[in-house]
A and B are shown apart, each in its own frame.
Chain A
Amino acid sequence: MIAGNAILEVAELSATFSDRGRRREAVHGISFSVKQGEILGLIGESGSGKTVTGLSILRLLPEHAEVKAKSIRFGHRDLAGMSDSEFAVLRGTELAMIFQDPVGSFNPAKTVGWHLRHAMARREAHRGTAADIGSADPIAVLQEMGIRTPERILDTYPHQLSGGMLQRVLIAMVLALRPQLIVADEPTTNLDNLVERQILDLIRYHQRRLGVSVLFITHDLTIAREFCDRIAVMYAGEIVEIGPASAVLDDPQHPYAVSLLRTAQSLERHDATLFELPGEPGEDARQRSGCRFVGRCPSAIPPCQTEHPALVRVSPQHHTRCLLHAQ
């Protein structure tokens, strides 16, 4: 795997929701990049803003959400400045997304074959200069995903198939689009473990083969370690640590990342009492003027209450947002 230039460079992305006059900032000025051909993992608890980040990139948030960014560089274009109609051309051609619930992702009134054929037609209509757009035969496409009875599957309706099978088809559809970047939002969370393994292997195999870049959103550390090249950890709408997977997971610097690691280790060791970080990321974490993690941080020092930490370099490629590491 050769990581080249960045295919996606996000600078200061924010997403705010207004609900009857109340504003809630889900994502607070985050910046990150995804290199060409790599898998960047975005880890966080529910409510950390990771899903909203993924949806923002594809402009799939509901109307009452406000998305702002200094720039979102994708290839040689800046997505942030594009109008909705200009951007719409990119969806399904350069940018694509895999969602968490495979069952809900299908139109219940149409067969699986209908879905796949339309995805393939989308690619066919926007070939551009792409050389390898894959087979034009839906059956071959399904076979590539390890599906052994593609003819039967094509004629079935979504409600007749299992979650694992549907996710395979969805991945087939997304890959058939030959996008440059795929945002995968917890694609295996709803599946059981054995199926989860198979799906992840499938994604990784085809990702390497085609050189697609992936923004992989998950809350599962174990998967992230195996699967991702680099990892960004989110907390309360901010990125608190970002770096190569091995660095972030084996040698975390930010206290939150440290506690994540300790929890995972505690689970693996089958401790009698699991290690647990007290408290929850409440709404007020976002309101704070200082560090957002200070309420739960075991290593907090007085400046943490008032000074908002910036991302600092711990080692080349590895950054953390913590005053303890600011030199």
Chain B
Amino acid sequence: MRGFLANRSACVGGAITLIVMIAIAAGPWLSIYSPTDMDFVALLSPPNWQHPFGTDSFGRDVLTRVLHGARVSILVSGAGVLLAVVVGTAAGLLAAHYGKWVEAVLMRAADLLLSFPSFVLALFLMVVLGFTIANVTVAIMLVYLPIFARLTRNMATLVKDEPWVQAARLFGQPVYSILGREILPNIATPILVQAATGVAFGIVIEAGLSFLGLGVQPPNPSLGNIMADGREYFSRAPWVLTMTGLAISVALLGLNLLSDGMRDLMDPKLRSRI
């Protein structure tokens, strides 16, 4: 814990992430506006005390919309990554444990998925499945599935020859128990770190899809379609798009700093040397 506090990255990142989380959780309740309240008197007004992020072309408070949209984005991205972690980790563990052709097939499949640019894959899936929120989750899951499968398999392969795992095997522990209780806890940390970055970039993917019109449909706010809106009158009123994107950047910055800090802490090589 002291190490955590000493690491600047982790601290700053953790602080930012915490603030963002609180804002998203509590913000929509605390805000005096609703995301669909239209104030025709104050159309497209720049940021001021009443509207910290300004208003859009319908007079809606941008900050409130962003907070609501962020909830949706995080839920979608989080769900997608969660599914990817569950399925991917299971696949990776099985690949590492059984080896031979099971591993070969699973890893080739993962390689195949990884050969597509992430966004292209997501786009393709949206077209095939239909432009709904649930499908964005599925798309994100499929983009991250191979990443977790490979990560888990690589780490599990390193760990599986450790003495305590071999002991468990000798004692006749069932496979799922070995995988779940011996191997998994020891490789959990890098998986979690990767999951954090995954949620971060999943948000960007979702925003991108919604920005193009392929994800969350209006009037439901999502970070992507708020920006799509903002782009229509960008030269006149740049703040809508700018503030929304800035908010995303800050949140991602926090997550990246946090996962950087955690990675530093996990790395035994980074102690001072003579």
A275 at the interface (CB under 8 A from B): no
Inter-chain CA distance A17–B274, complex, in Å, is 8
Inter-chain contacts of B274 with A (CB < 8 A): 17, 62, 65
Inter-chain CA distance A65–B273, complex, in Å, is 11
B235 at the interface (CB under 8 A from A): no
Minimum CB distance partner of A20 in chain B: B272
Interface residues on A, range: under 10
A19 at the interface (CB under 8 A from B): yes
Inter-chain contacts of B273 with A (CB < 8 A): 62
Query: B71-94 CB contact bits vs A (8 Å, 1 = yes)?
Result: 000000000000000000000000
Query: B239-274 CB contact bits vs A (8 Å, 1 = yes)?
Result: 000000000000000000000000000000000111
B2 to chain A, nearest CB (A): 15
Minimum CB distance partner of B274 in chain A: A17
Query: Considering only CB atoms and an 8 Å cut-off, how many residues of chain B contact the other chain?
Result: 3
Inter-chain contacts of A62 with B (CB < 8 A): 273-274
B41 to chain A, nearest CB (A): 59
Inter-chain CA distance A280–B128, complex, in Å, is 71
Inter-chain CA distance A17–B272, complex, in Å, is 12
Inter-chain CA distance A41–B208, complex, in Å, is 69
Beta-carbon contacts under 8 Å, B225-241 to A: none
Inter-chain CA distance A172–B177, complex, in Å, is 57
B51 to chain A, nearest CB (A): 47
Minimum CB distance partner of A52 in chain B: B274
Minimum CB distance partner of A61 in chain B: B274
Inter-chain contacts of A20 with B (CB < 8 A): 272
Inter-chain CA distance A226–B255, complex, in Å, is 62
Minimum CB distance partner of A51 in chain B: B274
Beta-carbon contacts under 8 Å, A69-93 to B: none
Minimum CB distance partner of B273 in chain A: A62
Inter-chain contacts of A19 with B (CB < 8 A): 272
Inter-chain CA distance A65–B272, complex, in Å, is 13
A20 to chain B, nearest CB (A): 7
Inter-chain contacts of B272 with A (CB < 8 A): 19-20
A53 to chain B, nearest CB (A): 14
Inter-chain CA distance A304–B272, complex, in Å, is 35
Inter-chain CA distance A79–B247, complex, in Å, is 59
Inter-chain CA distance A17–B273, complex, in Å, is 11
Minimum CB distance partner of B272 in chain A: A19
B53 to chain A, nearest CB (A): 42
B274 to chain A, nearest CB (A): 6
Beta-carbon contacts under 8 Å, A250-282 to B: none
B29 to chain A, nearest CB (A): 45
A174 to chain B, nearest CB (A): 24
Inter-chain contacts of A17 with B (CB < 8 A): 274
Inter-chain CA distance A76–B272, complex, in Å, is 38
A129 to chain B, nearest CB (A): 38
A230 to chain B, nearest CB (A): 28
Identify the 3 closest CB pairs spanning chains A and B, nearest first: A19-B272, A17-B274, A62-B274
Cβ contacts A to B, 6 pairs, < 8 Å? A17-B274, A19-B272, A20-B272, A62-B273, A62-B274, A65-B274
Could you tell me which A residues sit within 8 Å of B by CB distance?
Answer: 17, 19-20, 62, 65
